[in-house]
Structure 1
Amino acid sequence: MTSSAVSSSRRTLGRCGITVPAVGVGCWGIGGPAENLGLPMGWSTGSSAAAAAAGLETAWQGGARLFDTADVYGLGRSERLLGDLVARVPRDEIVLVSKVGYFAGTAQHGFDPRHMRRQLEQTLDNLRTDHVDVYFLHHSEFGAGDRWLEPAVEAMRAFTREGLIRAVGMRGPHRFARDRLTVAADQRGDKIARFQAVFDVVRPDVLAVRDHLLSPAARSEGIFAFAERHNVGVLINKPLAQGLLTGVYDPTALPLFGAGDHRSRKRWFTPAAIEVINGGLKELHGVVGWNRKDLIRVALWACLGRYEQAAVLVGFTTPEQVAMNLSALSDPPHPELIAQARAIMGRVQARLDEQGEVFLDETGGSA
């Protein structure tokens, strides 16, 4: 891996004009285990403070300049760990992304504007900076009758005017974390229509979109076409399906997802689902190569090929993972190879669908 390979592959995030390396670093995993909304929302197999610091330093030395976190990741732990790096590097060379809305604390609602301001001030303290480059509304649940939607949008505009944030972000089509468990599937409503309605009010500069080789093609094509029409940037999260696309999970010996680990409630992290996915990965290995790095390379570039104003965010728990993820930029695969990878994993998605709804829409993070 060389820093020049990372720095030379750059993307501009739409009309906001923020320019970033094509691959950024996701900092959810280093937040460790956490509970929020009565749900596990973190990673019980996350990094120690030392491993997190080493991973962030590896990323910086490898040319990474885009780092994504949130107030709810470890309930502040992720932001504080990242802040230790921010304090040691030139602020104008790093792009910081954080989010608000899931971590309500004792506030009436996560999007109460007074709470949002307090959370932003805490985020700035945690990150040891005076501004966040992209600040996201972390979900689209704004209370009964969307009570907090307009106030939250006005708060974001005020933050922008005051120079506390540079750009406003919002999630692409998604489900509110608690609704996945408390609202029956036939009562959840149309998340695409919901997204469009909120988008029209928020008018964000950047979207956060889940995309990977197991994502349904029509869904992915639709949201990136939408982003292009509106000239907004996109940060692609979960490009490796939280490790499922790297082959690290053995269906016969899964790690123990302890308290506070969101994977304990995700059905794609079950032996049956992982066995199906690993079958596809074996076929994919035969096309792209037999090293884990080969899988990562094609998975990341498949996402980067979606939209020229998109960057991908890849999480980590060890410095070795960071180094491998960044090295994927050094050798772009041929477009035909990406097409073959999409076809193979598309068949895997179809097999998961055949198993029933139990495997559908289960790699989306709750936070």
Structure 2
Amino acid sequence: MEYRVLGRSGLRVSEVSLGCWAIGGPSWRDGEAVGWSGNDDNASLAGLKRAFELGINHFDTADVYGDGHSERVIGRFLKEVPRDQVVIASKVGWFRGTAPNAMQPIHIRHQLEQSLMNLGTDYLDLHFFHNTNFGPDDLYLEEAADTMRQLQKEGKVRVIGQSGYGYRDFMRVCPVTRPDVLQFHYNAFGNEFDKPDTNLFRWADEQNIGMVLFGPLAQGLLLDKFDPENPPQFGDGDIRASNSSYTKERLLEIRRRLTPIKERFGTDVQDLVRVAIQYALAQSPNACVIPGFKNAKQVESNAQSAGKPLSAEDAAFIRSVIQGA
């Protein structure tokens, strides 16, 4: 396993870390599926243990993943490993309970206490604002930032992070939340974060801010493991059920784009895992990736991709083929 320091945060994490959304299981928010089906707690726990054995030391969860279930599974894992040898990250901002907004300061404090109880620990190494919705006209933005810094002073949070979904949103809130780590979606399909006018990698590198990239495998779409003639079906409470990328037409298009990738790097799924993970890591030395998992086999597959970087020429080739750029 290779390790990276997440910029000015000083956190030293495995370049391939783990996203723990899927192990939260099926869940809903405001009637919409926001979880994952097909999880098994014993398999999840075995995956966490295997990750630690392989040198993965950074585990990313959130209060909303399975409405606390992901955190509780990690809590079982934390009873079996030295707490100071792992980096535990959680988030607040999607589950609002009875609060008018999930970023209301008293709710942030309550959710942190609940997360700590779920995890069986007395501090988080990294705590993210899970989104940039701080109420109408950013009503709670300054108070939320002050609350998080107070929790940091109390020793309950080591490092403050900001997760988000748009470049302009990051630019709006980061001057107030002042995060040392950003979290955002990125993979070889590309998005606004790698474009010239909205390049979040460049901005974060200039500020020496760490980056945690989720979705490096595009929920399996970059691995060509789904049959276009028999598109996958997902269970209740699974966010993928509403994703139009799992249609026959889209799967065939992705397969076409992956053909030259396979010719250059190999045809096995493991070859494509390495390509996807290392492409994301190539965007910045201050970044790590957090692919998801449900079992030890998937953890092993993710971990095998560590320490096998792409050349600049390889990365440019992947970008041109997948993005047509």
TM range (shorter): over 0.9
Other-structure match for 1:78: 70
Partner-residue secondary structure (3-state), 1:314: coil
Structure 2 unaligned regions, length at least 5: none
- Percent identity over paired residues: 39
Residue 305 of structure 2 aligns to a residue in which SS? Answer: helix
Greater mean deviation of Cα atoms: 79-88 or 245-254 = 245-254
Specify the code of the residue in structure 2 equivalent to 1:83. Answer: G
Deviation digits for residues 297-325 of structure 1 (CA, Å, limit 9, x no counterpart): 11111111111111111111121111011
Q: Structure 2 residue aligned with 1:151, among 140, 143, 147?
A: 143
Greater alpha carbon shift after TM alignment, 127-136 vs 102-111: 102-111
Equivalent residue runs for 1:112-131 within 5 Å: 112-131=104-123
Which residue is equivalent to 1:232?
A: 209
Match of residue 219, structure 1, among 194, 203, 208: 194
The separation in 2 between residues aligned to 1:299 and 1:220, in whole angstroms, is 18
| Unaligned residue ranges in structure 1 (runs of 5+) | 1-5, 175-190, 351-367
Quote how far apart the aligned CAs of 1:272 are. Answer: 1.8
Is residue 33 from structure 1 mapped to residue 1 from structure 2 by the alignment? no
Query: Residues 26 and 313 of structure 1 are in contact (CA less than 8 Å); yes or no, is this contact kept in structure 2?
Result: yes
Query: What whole-Å deviation, never above 9, does each CA across 1:18-49 have from its counterpart, x for those lacking one?
Result: 1111110110011111001331101123x211
Q: What secondary structure, in the 3-state scheme, does the structure 1 residue paired with 2:107 have? A: helix
Give the root-mean-square deviation of aligned CA atoms: 1.5
Match runs of 1:92-103 below 5 Å: 92-103=84-95
Please say which of residues 140-149 and 20-29 is displaced more in the overlay. Answer: 140-149
Q: Deviations over 1:183-233 (max 9, x none)?
A: xxxxxxxx4333211111111110002111101476356110010111110
Moved over 4 A (4+): none
Counterparts of 2:170 and 2:246, CA distance in 1: 27
Deviation at 1:276, TM superposition (A): 0.8
Q: Residues 186-335 of structure 1 correspond to what in structure 2 (within 5 A)?
A: 191-216=166-191, 219=194, 222-335=199-312
Asked if 2 retains the 8 angstrom alpha-carbon contact of 1:12 and 1:233, the reply is: yes
Q: CA 1:31/1:218 → structure 2, altered by over 3 Å: closer, same or farther?
A: closer
Aligned partners of 2:132 and 2:173 also within 8 Å: yes
Give the whole-Å Cα distance in 2 for the aligned partners of 1:330 and 1:113. Answer: 41
What is the TM-score when the length of structure 2 is the normalising length?
0.95
More deviation in 259-268 or 82-91? 259-268
Q: Which moved more, 1:87-96 or 1:241-250?
A: 241-250
Q: Which moved more, 1:86-95 or 1:243-252?
A: 243-252
Provide the residue aligned with 2:45 in structure 1.
53
1:42 aligns with 2:35: yes
**1:168 to 2:160 alignment:** yes
Q: Is residue 20–residue 65 contact of structure 1 (8 Å, CA) maintained in 2?
A: yes
TM-superposed deviation, 1:73: 0.5
* CA distance in 1: counterparts of 2:262 and 2:214, whole angstroms: 23
CA distance in 1, matches of 2:309, 2:282: 10
Q: Helix, strand or coil for the counterpart of 1:215? A: coil
Number of equivalent positions: 323
Question: 3-state DSSP class of the match of 1:96?
Answer: strand
One-letter amino acid of the counterpart of residue 94, structure 2 = Y
Distance 2:37 2:50 in 1: 22
Distance in 2, Cα, partners of 1:94 & 1:192 = 30
* Distance in structure 1 (CA, Å) of the matches to 2:137 and 2:80: 45
How many Å separate the matches in 2 of 1:217 and 1:204? Answer: 20
User: Normalising by the residue count of structure 1, what TM-score does the alignment of the two structures yield?
Assistant: 0.85
1:270 Cα deviation from its structure 2 partner: 2.2
- Whole-angstrom distance in 2 between the partners of 1:119 and 1:218: 29
